[in-house]
Amino acid sequence: MDDSDLKTGPLIINEAQFLLAQKRTHLAAVRTGLAMLALPMSIITFLVATSRFYHFQNNLGYLIPLLALCAGLLGMGVHMVLRSLIRLHRTESALFRLRQQSSLLNSLEQEAAGHKTTASFF
């Protein structure tokens, strides 16, 4: 390591930590979006499974707002997943560029790859 790496090393490490924190946030948003997609499907499945106990025409006042809510949740879930995946891709690209520019991160990555061991569960 030369003198410039010693000065910029902590800044590069901080930037990498920031990008990794962003990545965790985007992955959490993807998980939340997928849960928002699963909820309307569960509600619709429940309505179909119990449909023999009610008549659709007699319960339009309840079913139409419920289906509108399901459509809204589906739309929000799709939007959240797509937006998070786009941001996750941008964060991954920035992290890749940072690794390409920094010899310090490359050496840390190679050192970490050398110390990896496979876990045995038996």
Give the total number of structural domains in the chain: 1
What does the chain look like in DSSP terms, one character per residue? --HHHHHHHHHHHHHHHHHHHHHHHHHHHHHHHHHHHHHHHHHHHHHHHTGGGS-TGGGHHHHHHHHHHHHHHHHHHHHHHHHHHHHHHHHHHHHHHHHHH-HHHHHHHHHHHHT-------
Residue 62 lies in a domain: yes
pLDDT in tens, 27-53: 999 999 999 999 999 998 988 888 888
Residue 57 lies in a domain: yes
pLDDT in tens, 54-64: 888 888 888 89
Residue 110 lies in a domain: no
| Boundaries of domain holding 74 | 19-102
pLDDT in tens, 99-118: 888 888 877 777 877 766 55
pTM of the model: 0.74
Residue 118 lies in a domain: no
Residue 95 lies in a domain: yes
